[in-house]
Amino acid sequence: MACKSRVSDAIATLVGVFHEYASKDCEEDHFKLSKSELKELMQKELDMDNVKDPAKLDELMKELDEDGDGQVDFLEFVGLVAGMACVCNDFIELMLSEQAKSE
Amino acid sequence: MACKSRVSDAIATLVGVFHEYASKDCEEDHFKLSKSELKELMQKELDMDNVKDPAKLDELMKELDEDGDGQVDFLEFVGLVAGMACVCNDFIELMLSEQAKSE
């Protein structure tokens, strides 16, 4: 799914990576992340090793699984990504503001 | 902002591209997209040429600019990206379902 623009590429990556992990567990719903699929995605694609702790993973699953079906669908996943992007942006804006003050 | 994981990379791209365009207009707020910055980003980074039509651009601006300040901040931008990702995902899931039926 190659695109020539960076935001389109980022969107294609999010959809592609989600489906790559959601389809790993054969018996589960291919369009949703099971807990084990979520754990692997968080570790490998978001550098979040704290999900090794079962309690942290359960907490994350509970937070993301808004419809309570025990899995994470794409809408719930993209909510996580959007939240993380906003945290990242807040940090960048803080740094840029500090930088501007010191100039 | 190189990361070793694809979702982290996608998030870094979204934040980086947003700030690249938001800082183009010198007199405007460096952390928000003006209408002209939004237009350029949509065309170059999302392949959306329909924003060449001023009426379409106005309509998009109105839709995104939830706080009515005449600009698009990162939260409003990430809402657009999340919405587009969900549309893209719905299309992919439809194709995957059709494919599964035909096998």
pLDDT tens digits, one per residue of A61-81: 999 999 999 999 999 999 999
From B57's Cα to the closest Cα of chain A, the distance in A is 18
Residue B1 has pLDDT above 50, yes or no: no
Q: What is the predicted ipTM?
A: 0.90
Rounded-to-integer distance, Cα B78 and Cα B74, Å = 6
Longest CA pairwise span in chain B (Å):
58
Phi, psi (deg, nearest 5) at residue A33: -90, 125
pLDDT tens digits, one per residue of B49-101: 999 999 999 999 999 999 999 999 999 999 999 999 999 999 999 998 998 88
Residue A102 has pLDDT above 70, yes or no: yes
Rounded-to-integer distance, Cα A76 and Cα A73, Å = 5
A80 touches chain B (CB under 8 A): no
CB contact under 8 A, B46 and A85: no
Q: What is the CATH number of domain B6-102?
A: 1.10.238.10
H or E stretch covering B62:
helix B54-64
Three-state SS for A73? coil
CB contact under 8 A, A85 and B15: yes
Nearest neighbour of B8 by CB, restricted to A30, A45, A74: A45
Q: How confident is the model at residue B4 (pLDDT cuts 50, 70, 90)?
A: low
B75 touches chain A (CB under 8 A): yes
Angstrom distances, CA of residue B43 to CA of A88, B37, B57 = 24, 10, 11
- Mutate one of A8, A11, A26, A95 to test the B interface: name it (highest B CB count within 10 A): A11
Residue showing tokens 């990702």: B85
pLDDT tens digits, one per residue of B12-48: 999 999 999 999 987 668 899 999 999 999 999 999 9
Q: Is the alpha carbon torsion for B73, B77, B80, B86 positive or negative? A: negative
CB contact under 8 A, A31 and B88: no
> What are the residue ranges spanned by the domains of chain B?
6-102
Q: Give which of A1, A4, A28 is closest to A12, Cα–Cα.
A: A1
From A55's Cα to the closest Cα of chain B, the distance in A is 23
**Residue in A closest to B46 by C-alpha:** A8
